[in-house]
């Protein structure tokens, strides 16, 4: 047998002790973890915990495993939204299939879990829009997915919305640029698969009664085309409108969740200006980078935008009382006086229900609702206590590395 690991290879050292010579289906149940949020798979998949990390192991033919390993490695290096890959085990005894090893995506959920959880208030259109954003992002990077579906996608909460990540890249292809035909075919495949998955949800009585699975699936292509047009279209305008129109277009792209790369202005023979905008294909990161610079917090993009808005409001409050302060001072004081006290106040039995940044975002939303009802600002402390009691306590614990390992050591657990 041979193992190939991405650096740092030490992350996979503990995995070497597992019984790789046996088919995954025959592994001792005591070695594997039960992950309730996992989706459906056509292959044998097992989850294991080693040295504080949780990993997904998928048994698949060696050529496909090598190809998927190479593609996921590329995606990881380029910052595309996909599960991070760790390595592969090949040349297994008796001609067994290879095993692809990926890292567990913290706080991620399958589409089935999103609709089965008690707090599953996410709308079907929102889910489809999130999937469409992922597909557009991949197409911009020249990736033909070939198997776009809800089952092959993981979702994470991001300031009340969802972010989507590719899980399965077996059928994916990489090209310098995709043709219109390739994109259309990928979208048609997605429409067909999503329709079947929504029908499956309907059969399991997990879909709201008013939702028609076929209508929703048929809405995917026009949703995709509208987003693709918005992200890639060229604009022509008068030179006098140049600054306004550029700012408007860039803001629109940011609002859709895309970062802007190169901006090109071409002067036409009639004196007008053509605007071409190159869109970054990696996960958007301006707000994430800014929040990390000011506070050291690593969160998702929409969460970062929400937290930065609160930080700016807190800074304005401080400056009104004490005069101008630097970005660094404002960031440190907000972290110590606003953010961290809320996170530290989470009751121990509720820690891990949601990502900390998501908890803070929801506390801010809860504060706004309570203040609207009271006709005054109730304050963050009051809002946090109310949120913990009335909302967070009703949310099931999400899967994280720590929570999965903790369950494993509970009495009666496998």
- 379-412 pLDDT, tens digit per residue, is 888 999 999 999 888 877 665 555 555 555 555 5
Give the integer Cα–Cα distance in Å for 260 and 281. Answer: 9
At 113 the pLDDT is 80
Claim: this prediction has a pTM higher than 0.85: no
Q: Are strands 173-174 and 85-90 parallel, antiparallel or unpaired?
A: unpaired
At 404 the pLDDT is 56
Q: What percent of the chain has pLDDT over 70?
A: 85
At 317 the pLDDT is 80
Predicted confidence (pLDDT) at residue 132 exceeds the cutoff of 70: yes
User: Is residue 282 a contact partner of residue 257, using CB atoms and an 8 Å limit?
Assistant: no
Give me the chain's average pLDDT, please.
84
At 122 the pLDDT is 57
At 108 the pLDDT is 82
Predicted confidence (pLDDT) at residue 86 exceeds the cutoff of 70: yes
Predicted confidence (pLDDT) at residue 308 exceeds the cutoff of 60: yes
Predicted confidence (pLDDT) at residue 95 exceeds the cutoff of 60: yes
Predicted confidence (pLDDT) at residue 146 exceeds the cutoff of 90: yes
Split at pLDDT 50, 70, 90, the class of 126 is confident
Q: State the average pLDDT over residues 143-147.
A: 95
Residue 182 burial (CB count, 10 A): 16
Q: State the average pLDDT over residues 243-262.
A: 70
At 156 the pLDDT is 86
At 403 the pLDDT is 58
């Amino acid at each position: 047998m041979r193992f190939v690991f991405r650096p740092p290879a030490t992350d996979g050292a503990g995995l070497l002790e597992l019984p790789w010579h046996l088919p995954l289906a025959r592994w001792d149940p005591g070695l594997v973890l039960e992950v309730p949020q996992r989706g459906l798979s056509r292959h044998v998949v097992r989850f294991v915990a080693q040295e504080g990390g949780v990993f997904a192991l998928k048994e698949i033919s060696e050529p496909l495993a090598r190809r998927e390993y190479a593609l996921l490695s590329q995606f990881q290096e380029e910052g595309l939204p996909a599960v991070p890959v760790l390595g592969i085990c090949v040349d297994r005894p008796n001609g067994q299939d290879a095993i692809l090893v990926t890292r567990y995506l913290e706080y991620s959920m399958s589409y089935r879990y999103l609709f089965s959880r008690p707090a599953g208030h996410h709308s079907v259109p929102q889910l489809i829009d999130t999937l469409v954003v992922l597909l557009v992002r991949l197409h911009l990077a020249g990736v033909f997915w070939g198997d776009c579906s809800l089952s092959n996608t993981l979702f994470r909460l991001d300031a009340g919305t969802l972010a989507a990540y590719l899980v399965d890249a077996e059928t994916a292809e990489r090209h310098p640029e995709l043709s219109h035909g390739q994109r259309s075919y990928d979208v048609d495949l997605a429409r067909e698969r999503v329709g079947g998955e929504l029908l499956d949800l309907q059969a399991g009585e997990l879909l709201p009664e008013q939702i028609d699975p076929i209508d929703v699936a048929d809405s995917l292509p026009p949703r995709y085309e509208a987003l693709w047009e918005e992200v890639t279209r060229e604009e022509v305008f008068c030179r006098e409108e140049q600054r306004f129109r550029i700012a408007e277009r860039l803001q629109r792209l940011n609002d859709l969740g895309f970062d802007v790369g190169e901006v090109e202005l071409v002067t036409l023979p009639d004196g007008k200006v053509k605007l071409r905008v190159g869109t970054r294909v990696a996960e958007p990161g301006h707000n994430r980078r800014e929040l990390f610079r000011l506070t050291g917090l690593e969160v998702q993009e929409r969460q970062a935008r929400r937290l930065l808005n609160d930080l700016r409001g807190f800074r304005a409050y401080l400056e009104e009382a004490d005069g101008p302060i630097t970005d660094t001072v404002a960031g440190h004081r907000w972290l110590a006086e606003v953010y961290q006290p809320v996170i530290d106040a989470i009751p121990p039995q509720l820690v891990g229900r949601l990502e900390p940044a998501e908890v803070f975002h929801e506390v801010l939303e809860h504060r706004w609702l309570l203040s609207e009802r009271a006709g005054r600002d109730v304050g963050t402390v009051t809002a946090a206590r109310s949120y913990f009691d009335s909302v967070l306590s009703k949310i099931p614990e999400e899967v994280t590395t720590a929570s999965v390992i903790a369950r494993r050591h509970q009495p009666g657990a496998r």
